């Protein structure tokens, strides 16, 4: 009981966590209700005059074709969160499965998984993603989540493996084995709960990483072929001459949002780290 209170106590006093989660909440809210407030659909050619700077009618201005930037923005934000959640979630999940298996089982399985992880770790994710993306010629957002998740896991697996490795040698794990518990159950009931804070951190980092990766893919034209996203907005902006035409309202909001969201996630990560790691609290 006391321990939990202590975490809460620090959590409520940790500026990094509070600011970070505040920003995330604001953007989440925007992504949630924003589309309802948007007056136009993201791809509608709303403004017959074409590109216009922000105004009361078009809050974030319009694109070269007169599409409402605000509408694209809030819908793209939604896509960003979906990618973060699903892609990051999947990456964490795969990382957990492999990390737990390697860390708990040890031995030859560990050697194999470890070698595999190292191999995947060394191969540049983006190069692989590009190739996968090129394979799938019609791409959906979910597909993007899937292949981001399936390539982002190695470092998570490594981190989780290391943690599991150290926890595995603790006597309570031996005791659980002496109680006849099955490995899966030991991992789920004894090891994972001990790493909860760590897993949360891993997830947060995967979340941010997935968002950045998705933005990169989208930007180079390998994003979803049937949806809007913040990365695609930037791609379109660059493609349609927003820079030389000075249409800053087209490329500033999406990048800013990504930076703010990922930055907030990182900030939360550090905040949580400080809460879970008493060593860092004093600094």
Partner 1 sequence: MLRLDNVSKVYRIGAFGGKALYAVNNVSFEVHKGEVVSLIGESGSGKSTIGKMILRLLDVTEGKITYNGEDISTFKGETLKNYYRQVQGVFQDPFSSYNPIFKADRIFEILREEFFPNIPIPEWQHRVKNALVSVGLNPAHVLNKYPYQLSGGQLQCFLIARALLLDIQFLVADEIISMLDASTRIDVLNLLADLKSRGLSILFITHDLSLAYYISERAVILYKGYVVERGAVEKIFHTPLHPYTRMLMDSIPRLDRKWEKGTTLLERKIEEFRGGCPYYERCPVAEKICAIYRPSLTEVDTDHFVACVHYEPSTNLLGAPAYTEQRTSQSGLG
Partner 2 sequence: MRKLALSVFTMLILASLLLAACGPATTPTPEKIIQTVEVEKRVIETQIVEVTPTGQVAPTTYPRNETLYVSGAAWGPASTWNPFQPGMLANTTGTIGLVYEFLFFYDPLTDKFIPWLAEKGAWTDPTTYEVTLRKGLTWSDGRPLTAEDVKFTLELGKKYPALWFSPLWTNTGLTDVTLVDETTLKLTFKDPLYQEWENYLFNLPIVPKHLWENRSEEDITTGANENPVGSGAYLYLTHAEDRNVWVRNENWWGIPIFGKPAPKYIVDIRTSSNNVALGMVVKGELDLSNNFLPGIATLAEKGYVKTFYEKAPYMLSANTAVLFLNTTKKPLDDAKFRRALAFAIDVPSIVNVAYANLVKAASPSGLLPTMSKYDDQEVIARLGYTFDTAKAKQMLADAGYKDVNGDGFVEAPDGSKIELQVTCPNGWTDWMAAIDIIASSAQAAGINIKAAYPDYGAWNTALQGGTFDMTLNNWAQMSNTPWTLYNLLFRHPIQEQMQAGNFGRYVNQQMFDLVDALARIPTTDETGMKAATSKIQELMLTEMPVIPLWYNGLWAQWTETTWTNWPNEKNPVSLPTTWSGYWQMGGLQTLINLKPAVQP
Partner 3 sequence: MRRYLTRKILIYTLTFFLAVTIDWLIPRFMPGDPIRNMLARVSVASNASAIQMMYDYYARLFGLDLPLWQQYLNFWKALFQGNLGISTYLFPTPVIEVLKRAVPYDAFLLIPSILLAWYAGNNFGAIAARSKRLDNFILPLSYVLTATPYMWLGILLAWFFGIVLGLFPIAGAYSFSLRPTWSWTFVLDLLHHWFLPFASLFIIDFGGWAIGMRNMIIYELEAEYSRYLTALGAPQRLIRRYAFNNAILPQITGLALRLGVIVAGALVTEVVFSYPGIGYLLLAAIQNQDYFLIQGCFLFIILGVLIANFVIDLVYIVVDPRTRRGMVGESA
To partner 1, the closest distance from the beta carbon of 193 in angstroms equals 6
Residues 193-232 vs partner 3: string with x where CB under 8 A? ---------------x---xx-xx--xxxx--------x-
Beta carbon nearer to partner 1, 102 or 222: 102
Quickly list DSSP for 176-196.
HHHTT--HHHHIIIIIHHHTH
Round to whole Å and give the CA distance between 77 and 246: 23
For partner 1, which residue of 171, 244, 282, 283 counts as binding (CB under 8 A)?
A: 171
For partner 1, which residue of 190, 218, 273, 274 counts as binding (CB under 8 A)?
A: 190
Contact between 159 and partner 3 per CB under 8 A? no
Round to whole Å and give the CA distance between 36 and 48: 22
To partner 3, the closest distance from the beta carbon of 67 in angstroms equals 19
Q: CB of 75 within 8 A of CB of 38?
A: yes
Helices of type H across the chain: 2-13, 15-37, 69-82, 88-100, 107-122, 125-135, 141-152, 154-168, 171-178, 183-186, 192-194, 196-219, 230-239, 248-276, 278-281
Contact between 5 and partner 1 per CB under 8 A? no
Round to whole Å and give the CA distance between 36 and 75: 10
What's the alpha-carbon Rg for the chain, to the nearest Å?
22
**Phi, psi (5° rounding) for residue 52?**
-145, 145
What is the footprint of partner 2 within residues 109-148 (CB under 8 A)? 134, 137-138
Which residues lie near partner 3 (CB under 8 A)? Answer: 114-115, 118-119, 121-127, 130-131, 133-135, 137, 155, 208, 212-213, 215-216, 219-222, 231, 234, 237-238, 243-244, 246, 248, 251-252, 254-256, 258-267, 270, 279-280, 283
Which residues lie near partner 1 (CB under 8 A)? Answer: 1-3, 170-172, 174-181, 189-190, 193-194, 196
């Amino acid at each position: 009981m006391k321990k939990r209170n202590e975490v809460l106590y620090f959590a409520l006093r940790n500026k990094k966590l509070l600011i970070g989660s505040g920003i995330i909440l604001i953007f989440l809210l925007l992504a949630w209700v924003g589309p309802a407030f948007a007056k136009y659909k993201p791809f509608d050619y709303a403004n017959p005059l074409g590109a216009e700077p922000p105004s009361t009618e078009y809050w974030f201005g319009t694109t070269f074709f007169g599409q409402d930037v605000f509408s694209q923005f809030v819908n793209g934000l939604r896509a960003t969160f979906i990618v973060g959640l699903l892609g990051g979630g999947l990456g964490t999940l795969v990382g957990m499965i492999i990390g737990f298996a390697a860390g708990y089982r040890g031995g030859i399985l560990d050697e194999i998984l470890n070698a595999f992880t190292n191999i995947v770790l060394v191969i540049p994710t983006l190069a692989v993603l590009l190739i996968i993306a090129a394979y799938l010629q019609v791409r959906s957002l979910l597909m993007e989540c899937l292949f981001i998740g399936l390539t982002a896991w190695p470092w998570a697996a490594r981190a989780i493996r290391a943690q599991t490795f150290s926890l595995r040698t603790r006597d309570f794990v031996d005791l659980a084995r002496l109680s006849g518990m099955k490995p899966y159950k030991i991992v789920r009931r004894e090891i994972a709960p001990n790493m909860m804070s760590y897993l949360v951190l891993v997830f947060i980092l995967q979340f941010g990483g997935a968002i950045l990766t998705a933005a990169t893919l989208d930007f180079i034209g390998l994003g979803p072929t049937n949806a809007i996203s913040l990365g695609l907005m930037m791609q379109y902006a660059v493609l349609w001459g927003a820079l030389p035409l000075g249409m800053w309202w087209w490329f500033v909001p999406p990048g800013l949002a990504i930076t703010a969201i990922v930055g907030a996630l990182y900030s939360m990560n550090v905040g949580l780290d400080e809460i879970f790691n008493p060593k860092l609290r004093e600094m």
